[in-house]
Structure 1
Amino acid sequence: MQDPKSDRMLRETDRGSRGCNGWRRGRWAVACLMALGVPAILSGHPDAPKSPATELPPVNPPKRYEIKPTVPSTDRHTPGKVFLERADRLWTDDSRDSIAYQILVGNVQFRKDDMFMYCDSAHFYDQEGSFDAFGNVRMEQGDTLFVYADELNYNNPEEMAVFYGNGVEEVRLINKEVQLTTDVFNYDLGQDLGYYTNGGTLADTANVLTSVYGEYSPATKDAQFRLDVVLKDKGERDFTLTTEELLYNTDNHIARIVKPSVIVTDSATVYSSNGMYNTEADTTRLYDRSLIKTRRGNTLTGDTLFYDQTTGFGEAWGNMILTDSARQSALEGGYGCYFEKEDSSFATIRARLLEYSRKDTLYLHGDTIRTYVQRSDSDSTHIMTAYPRVRFWRVDLQGLCDSLSVVERDSLMYMHRHPIVWSGERQVFGNVIQVHFNDSTVDWAKLPEFGFVAEHIGDEFYNQLTGREMLAQFVDGSLSQLDVSGNVENIMLPQENDSTYNKIISSTSSYLTAHFNDSTLQKLTMWPDVDGTVTPLYLAKKSIYYLPQFKWYEALRPKDKDDIFNVPPEMEALLKEPDPGVRRRRVN
């Protein structure tokens, strides 16, 4: 090794008190300049040039002796002891006011237990075991831990080592497949913990992390980062995690989220303040109402979330909400999951679907709600199903049934087993109800097997209409025409000019067509053969007030968006009965 140069010695003096032993350097620079035979620049040195104008009295320099380094035979595992293992040259100072240290030059080696430290030159404070090391500094522990630096200040009583780069090359810590780089690295040997405070980078086989502050424990492989933390993948996976504080383990490559964080991948963006991110498996487990936004624009949130970025599978527990931006809907539940690649979802435990494409939101509940894509060789379509005990509510529309499905391709909604729909004072029920939508607005509704329409007009009086098949057509959401075919039966109380009712009309036919204006009956036509009676109201017996299939299900009707979760006993009993069409055939 080459001896230190004079400019290096002066530079070290200027660095002052930066290290744990830096305050000792002022005297050391002078001592080294003279000991190494550098031309004297201090007045009073015997070899200094004399000024022609002034002759200063001579100053006797301190006496220094170059001695042969010796290696003590003491047990190298003596607790707290630092040993000088070797050096090419060593100087000592016997002046009364000198600081008690030795100047070591060339192939310097120290040892503490199983830790070895190497450098070009050093100050060794033998009594306390501290030292300052300069040039090609290297610290080794076994074959697993290495630290490389330009300078090292080691305070043995505190077991604190501070490593410095030289402005061009940074300090490097290598622990097997982990590498940490920074300008200044503090290493607490007692706690086996290293840290930096002015920016650094930690890289392992999977990821690269940068931050202003960072800690790393070689023993546990745990790391902690604070301020402007960025975690990136080193391989082909594309993700970036940004936060202000992060815990990380270089063995299992799991990041622990403890502050508001954002994870951006090629499949989704994750927002969380509490959770675990397994960067190797590309999965996250999140808490405290975290949020996942997929590339489709859908969002998934819940009290607890699990998300697999590779498969696009998300799972949520506790107040789950899955939004579908394209369909302007949201799915809620106590538990739910989402398959982004398959564009499918599932919800249960107070499951509720919100459809808000119109001014008024539709709220729909079923014990289980699913959405999925049905594919065939020639086509595919998105389907939503809800079952059993389905109930829905909107300001202008309420309903229930045992199961419900919506087929996106056909814009059709199917209500099965005891479907009932209310709108204002009008109630419709049947065996099956099919509803067609045009831009989220009802276009037509069909009851293909059996249908019954009842309208409450006051007290115990109801207009009623039934038949084997019904087709209702709507304009701007209002009923415009109703066509009934097969076994048509009708009971009507026409309103007089003074808005009173004084007669009941009962009639039967094969076909019926009714025209409406703003859902108000304007004209009714029955054909080809019509049988009927007109009975003054004051002569009418209650036996002719109702058709055989009449039933008014007001007690089952949802009252608001939260009442859809309350399934009354009457609804439970109804769903156990045979379909209305079956009851009708028994009556006939």
Structure 2
Amino acid sequence: MRAVLFSCLLLLSASGLWAQEKEIEIRQAGSFQLDEENFPGANILERSATKQVHLVHQGMDVWSDKAFFYKKENRFDAFGNVRIMQGDSLVLTSKTVNYDGKINLAVAKEQVVLDNKEMLLETDTLYFDRTKNIAYYPANGTVYDSLTTITSKRGTYISDSKKYTFENKVVVNNPDFTLTSARMDFYTETKHAFFYGATTIIGEDYVVRCREGFYNTVKKEGFFKKNASIDYNNRNILGDSIYFNDTKKYASATQNIRITDTINNSIITGNYGQVFKEKDSAMVTHRAVAINVVELDSLYIHADTLIATGPPEQRIIRGFHDVRIFKEDLSGKTDSIHFNQTSGRAKLIRRPITDRDLQYLTPQEIADRNPILWSDESQMTGDEIHLTIDTEKEVLDSLLIYNNAFVIEQDSLNAANFNQIKGLQLKGKFKGKSLEIVDVIQNTEMVYYIYDDEILELTGIDKAICSALRLEFEDSGIEKITFFTNPDGVVYPPDDLPENTRQLLGFTWREDERIYSKEDLFHGIDLQRFNIKGNLPEIEGVPIKLKR
């Protein structure tokens, strides 16, 4: 019984000590008054000539010129040059403070300044919850240090994590950038910013937009998501996720990216891309497609990897490996491409063939490796093909094929027959969207099927050689052939020319490779391998999946 009683006494004693610890303590005051008529229950404390009123509550010191202390309610109202110190890491000053010791809540008003050693907060009204170590301003606050100033309509400071949460019309001004956001979390020690809602960062030579992101304001690097874009180096970069480092002058993006050249009116899309400002270059891979406007139509170029280099007035686009081209009336394939946007010349280049390859490859196998173009009903191949666009008029201008130029057109009346012309070089001129004239030069050979115009019956097969010839096109087909310099040829009756002599050396019909639409750019390609994850660089301490 005595033991139980002794335990109860200990508990009551401890409870009493705890209650005493919670009470507000008067440390000093210049004078003490009572005015029950006007301030019932208040101890009116005023400063002396040398010392302010000093109140203490659970590790918090409060100095003021005057204070109304309500001991029974464990609260006070402090006025004039109010200064609050909590530990050695937080100082608050204002004209007035209302403090309730029961719930540990201080309300500071007029010329409020909160100093957490890293940054200063200025506002007109601040609520300071000491239990949660949270300070909140409901209207118009400014937070700043020696470099950065942040303003917002509302804000919260969480002392334990040294974090500000800014809401409504957040504006960050820094010598290197200006940031606006709907909402932002800012860590005062690391200077890391996390933002949510419509956000814009404007630097000296870039503009970032997103609806969710992270930015290290010291290292000038960040991740951006949700409608993310960067205007950078005369390019607009869009992507599901974007990484940007202003110090290194570098940006990268993943998934559904779109890089627009704002000077040359061209676009590169893909699922992974990089931009290097110092090198004036951009690289895109994983379902990469370059898009250029030609004749109010789009010219699409797909490659495993697309690289754009050079300043806007001298920009070059290079495509490597399994290059495919599509335009409404023109398509092609090659191993690599070199496109000069200034001159408008696109070079279609085959994969290099070694001397050893030449020893065992047949002319047909070499032709299968050569670049190829389809224009209307014509198939054209050669060791290298140059396609030129008139950049001022934005129309197809001319065509050049170097070495082993070969033109094939399937007979419209008999699919087993093919009109063929080959030579060392080919020069073509476009009119509108189609070839108008083609000159085949040097060591020229031809096989051409001749029909009776009235009964549409095959009457002969013209097989000829000459130094050069000209093809004139009309209605998407060969309309006229003109031979130059002593042509030598024979028109054979169909039955007199064996089937195995009707094809010129190196003949190959590659219709199954032809590209008829934008979708065909990816025909036969495993698109799943283009879905990539985690290719963005990592920022120390910050995951790509942003966490608040």
TM-score by length of 2: 0.83
Which whole-Å deviations, capped at 9, do the CAs of 1:336-370 have from their partners, x for residues lacking one?
Answer: 11124533110111111112243221222111111
Equivalent residues in 2 for 1:263-274 (5 A)? Answer: 263-274=201-212
Q: Secondary structure at the match of 1:194?
A: strand
Conserved? CA contact 1:425–1:457, under 8 Å: no
Match of 1:26 in 2: none
Q: CA deviation at 1:135?
A: 1.3
Offset of 1:374 from its aligned partner? Answer: 8.6
**Where in structure 2 are the equivalents of 1:194-213 lying within 5 Å?**
194-213=135-154
Find out whether 1:393 has 2:326 as its counterpart.
yes
Aligned residue number for residue 402 of structure 1: 335
Distance 1:164 1:395 in 2: 70
**Where in structure 2 are the equivalents of 1:125-136 lying within 5 Å?**
125-136=70-81
1:446 aligns with 2:400: yes
Structure 1 residues 261, 145: CA separation in 2 closer, same or farther (over 3 Å shift)? Answer: same
In structure 1, C-alpha distance between the alignment counterparts of 2:303 and 2:514, rounded to whole Å: 15
1:254 aligns with 2:192: yes
Q: Is the 8 A contact 1:254 1:278 kept in 2?
A: yes
1:443 and 1:152 mapped to 2: Cα distance? 79
Segments of structure 2 that go 5 or more residues without pairing to the other structure are: 1-15, 351-369, 527-548
- C-alpha displacement at 1:216, in angstroms? 1.1
Q: How does 1:248-397 map to 2 (within 5 A)?
A: 248-294=186-232, 296=234, 298-373=235-310, 381-397=314-330
Q: Quick check: 2:376–2:476 contact (8 Å CA) kept in 1?
A: no
Describe the shift of the 1:137–1:520 C-alpha distance in structure 2 as closer, same or farther (beyond 3 A). same
Q: Which residue of 1 aligns with 2:436?
A: 480
Among 424, 427, 449, the alignment partner of 2:376 is: 424
**Bigger Rg, structure 1 or 2:** 1
- Find the aligned partners of 1:423 and 1:516 in 2 and give their Cα distance: 11
Q: Supply the AA of the counterpart residue of 1:82.
A: I
Name the residue aligned to 2:511: 554
Tell me if the contact between 2:329 and 2:433 (Cα under 8 Å) persists in the aligned partners: no
Partner of 1:174: 115
Q: Give how far 1:155 is off.
A: 0.5
1:562 deviation in Å? 1.8
Question: What secondary structure, in the 3-state scheme, does the structure 2 residue paired with 1:543 have?
Answer: helix
Q: Partners of 2:19 and 2:222 in 1: how far apart?
A: 45
2:63 to 102, 118, 142: 118
Verify the 8 A CA contact 1:206 1:280 in the aligned structure 2.
no
DSSP-derived class of the 1:367 partner: strand
Pairs within 5 Å for 1:399-548: 399-417=332-350, 418-439=370-391, 440-458=394-412, 459-498=415-454, 500=456, 501-517=458-474, 520-548=477-505
Change (3 A) 1:357 1:547: closer
Q: Tell me the CA shift for residue 472 of structure 1.
A: 1.5
- CA 1:411–1:94 in structure 2 vs 1: closer, same or farther (change >3 Å)? closer
Could you say if the C-alpha distance between residues 176 and 393 of structure 1 is closer, same or farther in structure 2, counting changes exceeding 3 Å?
A: same
Q: Does the 8 A contact of 1:329 with 1:357 survive in 2?
A: no
Q: Which moved more, 1:210-219 or 1:560-569?
A: 560-569
* Between structures 1 and 2, the one with greater strand share: 2
Aligned residues of 1:83 and 1:129 also touching (Cα < 8 A) = no
1:491–1:505 CA contact under 8 A, matched in 2:
yes
Per-residue deviation at 1:539?
A: 4.6
Greater mean deviation of Cα atoms: 434-443 or 244-253: 434-443
Q: Letter of the aligned partner of 1:467 in structure 2?
A: G
1:546 shift after superposition = 1.8
Establish whether residue 162 from structure 1 lines up as the match of residue 119 from structure 2: no
1:413 alignment partner AA: A
For residues 495-519 of structure 1, what are the alpha-carbon distances to aligned partners after superposition, in whole Å with 9 as ceiling and x for unaligned?
4332724221000122223344565
Secondary structure of 1:564's counterpart equals helix
Q: Secondary structure of the residue that 1:555 maps to in structure 2?
A: helix
SS in 2 for 1:560: coil
SS of 1:110's partner is strand
Q: Greater relative contact order (Cα 8 A, min sep 6): structure 1 or 2? A: 2
* Cα gap change, 1:304 to 1:158, in 2 (>3 Å): same
> 538-547 or 267-276: which moved more?
538-547
SS of the equivalent of 1:389 reads strand
- Rounded to whole Å, the distance in 2 between the matches of 1:429 and 1:544 is 20
Shift in alpha-carbon separation, 1:499–1:203, aligned structure 2, 3 A: farther
1:442 shift after superposition = 2.6
Match of residue 44, structure 2, among 103, 117, 142: 103
> Is the 1:328–1:357 Cα contact (8 Å) retained in structure 2?
no
Q: Say whether 1:85 aligns with 2:27.
A: yes
Provide closer, same or farther for how the CA distance between residues 221 and 514 of structure 1 changes in structure 2, counting only shifts above 3 A: same
Deviation at 1:183, TM superposition (A): 1.0
CA separation of 1:222 and 1:78: change in aligned 2, threshold 3 A: farther
Shifted more, 405-414 versus 331-340: the winner is 405-414
Matched, 1:149 2:86: no
Distance 2:21 2:190 in 1: 33
Q: Distance in 1 between matches of 2:127 and 2:197?
A: 25
Q: What amino acid does structure 1 have at the position aligned with 2:154?
A: Y
Question: C-alpha displacement at 1:294, in angstroms?
Answer: 2.8
Tell me, yes or no, if the aligned pair for 1:365 and 1:391 is still in contact at 8 Å. yes
Partner SS, residue 402 of structure 1? strand
Letter in 1 for 2:330: L
The change in CA–CA distance for 1:272 and 1:109 in structure 2 (over 3 A counts) is: same
Call closer, same or farther: CA 1:124–1:475 in 2, change over 3 Å. same
Decide whether aligned partners of structure 1 residues 303 and 568 sit closer, same or farther in structure 2, where only a CA change above 3 A counts: closer
SS of equivalent residue, structure 1 residue 448: strand
Over residues 81-115 of structure 1, what are the superposed CA-to-partner deviations in whole Å (9 max), with x where a residue is unaligned?
321101121124688x9732211122211112332
Residue 230 of structure 2: SS of its match in structure 1? Answer: strand
Q: Report Cα offsets for 1:524-558 as digits up to 9, x if no partner.
A: 33243322221223554322332122111011112
**Structure 1 counterpart SS, 2:500:** helix
What is the Cα deviation at residue 121 of structure 1?
A: 1.4
Does the CA contact (< 8 Å) of 1:204 and 1:250 recur in 2? no
- Deviations along 1:442-501, one digit per CA (max 9) or x if unpaired, are 322112211100011232111100011221222334323222222211011234332724
Corresponding residue of 1:241: 179
Work out the CA distance in 2 between the residues paired with 1:129 and 1:358: 82
The separation in 1 between residues aligned to 2:519 and 2:36, in whole angstroms, is 91
Q: Give the 3-state SS of the residue equivalent to 1:508 in structure 2.
A: strand
**Whole-Å Cα distance in 1 between the matches of residues 170 and 268 of structure 2?**
34
Alpha-carbon contact 1:77-1:113 (below 8 Å) kept: no
What is the letter of the counterpart of residue 514 of structure 1? Answer: L
- Count residues in correspondence: 483
Shift of the 522–547 alpha-carbon distance from structure 1 to 2, 3 Å rule, reads same
